[in-house]
Amino acid sequence: MSTAPRPEYPRPQFRRENWTNLNGEWRFAFDDEDRGRREGWQNAGVRPSGERSPFDRTITVPFCYQSKLSGIGETAFHDVVWYARTFDYAVSDDERLLLHFGAVDYGAEVWVNGVHVVSHEGGHTPFSADVTHALGGPENVLVVRVEDPSRDVAIPRGKQYWREESEDIFYTRTTGIWQSVWLEPVNRSRVAGLRLTPNVDAACVDAEFEIEGADPGASLRVVVELDGEMVLDDAFTVRSVLMDRRLPLVRRGEAPDESRFAAWTGLALWSPEKPNLYDLRLELRNGAGETLDTVHSYFGMRKVEVRDGRVYLNGVPYYQRLVLDQGYFPGGNLTAPTDDDLRRDIELAKEMGFNGARKHQKVEDPRWLFWADTLGFLVWGEMANAYQYSLDYARRITAEWQEAVRRDYNHPSIVAWVPMNESWGVPNLEADPAQREHILTLYHLTRSLDGTRPVVSNDGWEHALTDLCNIHDYRGAEVLAKTYATAESSVAAAPSGRRIYAPGHGYRGEPILVTEFGGIAFAGEEEGWGYSTVVDSGEFLGLYEAMIEALLASDPVQGFCYTQLTDIEQEVNGLLTYDRKPKADLARIHAITTRERP
């Protein structure tokens, strides 16, 4: 069993059994003068031999150098960093070796044995390279250069601060590798991609398969199981690089008028209450029937709709009780120390009565999404935003956001997309038509990538076209009750001095949700802050209950998102401390969170 940190397979929705984890100790160097490329560090050996190696430190991957778990724990600015390590591999005939990075913040260049194999820009999304041509023998040298301009506020960085010391709502930066790195040997002919769209109305899943290097006569076997029982076993000839296939799950019965979904005998729907998942296995075979590639995945059957001012899940109005989760961890910063830490965050949220989370300003580790799928937890997928508008910013965010949606499309837990938060990166929507066009572009771009989920144009205020009207309001319970008494009063509010809709846009009857509120801190906590303060857990529970009751009593409000799950560094307004200790009785919080609407 591997002793490397984060030993679990990093990509749970596209799994192969044969892989090598490259997490663990790497050689490392700061390059504050940016001289590494000029001096040929990409060609340097990992260990000193003759001349001193430029890699004068060690680091534990996948933790960034700013984190304690990296073994360095230094938070000063170092905008260029280098990594190096060796790996042993010899490729057999007709085999290719893929090198995968889960996420590297921000711009990465990668060499194997001095051969450049891939470059990537974007701090939250994965990238890969076929490194077969660069292999030189049993031992190979892998070198990575990362550039992360600490002060550049036009980079989509989320909550990572552009000053050295954390303050207010901004936290310690993440520079470099912060998700798993791994090798994967594959056949020249292989399954290269998979897109799964649940079609509850037709009791099937619409699948798109991407096949690379298939010879004439190749076939793809598709096996679907539910709880170990066979649902589908089909095979078809591979005729193109990209193929669509409708996979029927059950025979459709006559659905009564009052229920469009329950009449399909055997169709197992996914929801937070019943997170049913279908297992999927793909086997690519050559003309002789030999299996060349096997990929394991899964999917959930669920349907999200927005109509008549409500959100529907599987044909039933569904009230969303969300918690704001920013995905920071003691010791690891953006990187969870273990897979159990990712799972435990969801378990704790559910224990407090929440049926989902708004994953805030972070494209989270796919392993967290796997646990959301498995445990039954709604997720709003959100992009990490920048803070300054420019043409370069627009290029960066649209490119990385497309990669994020593509990566996470198959997760049934994701029920909304949030490309923009509180006008970050577009601070002048009132006066600048270009910035208004930009948030419209992000909305339409996201809808073009995924027409099955609602898209929020600008969470909090200054919406353009949007499928949900989301409002951030940190005022007290009495003000919440008055403000959200009607739809008209809700959209007329300006709780942070910002209009709910941007110029040229207005309310069109979309569901209203209060997606940030609360933020209650406890007096006497170590240096930190919250949006309001209480003296003890008893006062907190009373204030929390009053806020929840005010929102539940509002007819137009169709859900809420409480700020926030945990404390983070100096922001101490979590339901849990930074190390995940409850501040109040979880059972009492659960009883309040899950209270029925009047």
Could you tell me if 577 and 567 are in contact, meaning their C-beta atoms sit under 8 angstroms apart? yes
For 401-439, letters b (16+ CB in 10 Å) and e give bbbbbebbbbbbbbbbbbbbbbbbbbeebeeeeebbebb
| Residues in Cβ contact with 257 at an 8 Å cutoff, skipping those fewer than 6 apart | none
- Residue 19 has a CB neighbour count (10 Å cut-off) of 17
> ω into residue 62 within 30 of 0, thus cis?
yes
pLDDT greater than 90 at residue 51: no
d(CA 208, CA 222): 12
180: β partners: none
User: What does the DSSP assignment read for 483-552?
Assistant: HTSSHHHHHH--TTS--SB-TT----SPPEEEEEEE-EEETT-SS-B-SEEESSHHHHHHHHHHHHHHHH
Give, to the nearest 10 degrees, the angle between helix 391-408 and helix 433-449.
20
- Phi, psi dihedrals of residue 140, rounded to the nearest 5°: -130, 150
- Strand-strand pairing, 320-325 and 557-563: parallel
- pTM summary value: 0.96
26: β partners: 59
Read off the pLDDT band of 49 (50, 70, 90).
low
| Residues in Cβ contact with 527 at an 8 Å cutoff, skipping those fewer than 6 apart | 570
HEC profile for 229-290?
EEEEEEEEECCCCEEEEEEECCCCCCCCCCCCCCCCCCCCEECCCCECCEEEEEEEECCCCC
Domains of the chain by start residue, with CATH: 24-179 (2.60.120.260), 190-199+201-299 (2.60.40.10), 304-593 (3.20.20.80)
Of the chain, the percentage scoring pLDDT greater than 70 comes to: 95
Per-residue pLDDT averaged across 293-308, rounded? 97
Per-residue pLDDT averaged across 507-518, rounded? 98
Stretch (H or E) spanning 390? none
Record the tokens describing residue 341, joined without a space.
Answer: 């830490």
Per-residue pLDDT averaged across 74-90, rounded? 95
Read off the pLDDT band of 47 (50, 70, 90).
low
Count helices and strands in the chain by DSSP H and E runs = 8, 31
Stretch (H or E) spanning 344? helix 339-351
Q: What is the pLDDT of residues 407-441, one digit of tens each?
A: 999 999 999 999 999 999 999 999 999 999 999 99
Please classify residue 230 by burial: count the beta carbons closer than 10 Å to its beta carbon, then call 0-12 exposed, 13-18 middle and 19+ buried. exposed
Could you tell me if 36 and 29 are in contact, meaning their C-beta atoms sit under 8 angstroms apart? yes
